Chains A and B, each alone.
Chain A
């Protein structure tokens, strides 16, 4: 299979390095501003829930991180597959850069979920399908990261970890449908792709804004990490020599 022409620009490491550096501060700044607005909307403007009172406000930090935990994995697995099929270095670099961010947000989703569970379910943890499959997601991320660390040669680390990422995709539908397939203590989806959300507009707009803001935040951090990954893979090429000289410290 041939690579589409427009994709070639994204396969060129120096191009991606420059473009990631230019975009990073804007994405990070915008994401932080939107997060501030979203948190204000969620903590101050949204009314208390009729069942969960003000405790429901944990939704504004729990759902966006849980969303990122699976969305980042999907992106990581897609990048890994592209890297394996077309032997594209930049795609492997994207997957490697995404993994630690995904792991952090999975951990955050688990922790905020546990704290939310205490007052609502009476327990921090249950071996429930949704909770367990999310925990497995964290282990897959950690496995991916440590597998990469086990190779001295970057190319081998890229290929081996890419296979793990691709195989681990089976966990994503399990996480997603766990609350529907099995009787779970976890509540069903708050925002449905089809049909209207199960909560009022005043409660839902901060949540949607925060999901968007977290996605921008992820994109910003991904680009910053991607630059380091690209430098690592291109250490002997001439353009990296130029970059290193341009950023040389005055000492």
Chain B
């Protein structure tokens, strides 16, 4: 296991590359989801305002 983690002396180069990759994958999943929920929230607000306006009229 230690041998595997040492990566033949290249550990300081190999593991940061994999770490950055996982970070980019997670950021992509999270931001895409956040963008969709934010859009749905904005539309919900817009709909609620319209309903309010038509109720007042």
Contacts and interface: CB of A to CB of B under 8 A. Distances in A.
A73 interface: no
A148 interface: no
Contacts of B29: 28, 221
Interface in B18-57: 18, 20-21, 24-25, 27-29, 31-33, 35-36, 38-40, 43-44, 46-47
Contacts of A62: 17
- Count class of interface residues, chain B: 20 to 34
A244 B20 contact: no
Contacts, number: 94
A54 B28 contact: no
Interface-centre pick from B27, B28, B35, B38 (highest chain A CB count, 10 A): B28
Interface of B: 4, 7-10, 13-14, 16-18, 20-21, 24-25, 27-29, 31-33, 35-36, 38-40, 43-44, 46-47
Interface of A: 28, 35, 39, 43-44, 48, 53-55, 57-58, 61-62, 65, 100-101, 104-105, 107-108, 111-112, 115-116, 118-119, 217, 221, 224-225, 227-228, 231-232, 235, 240-241, 243-245, 247-249
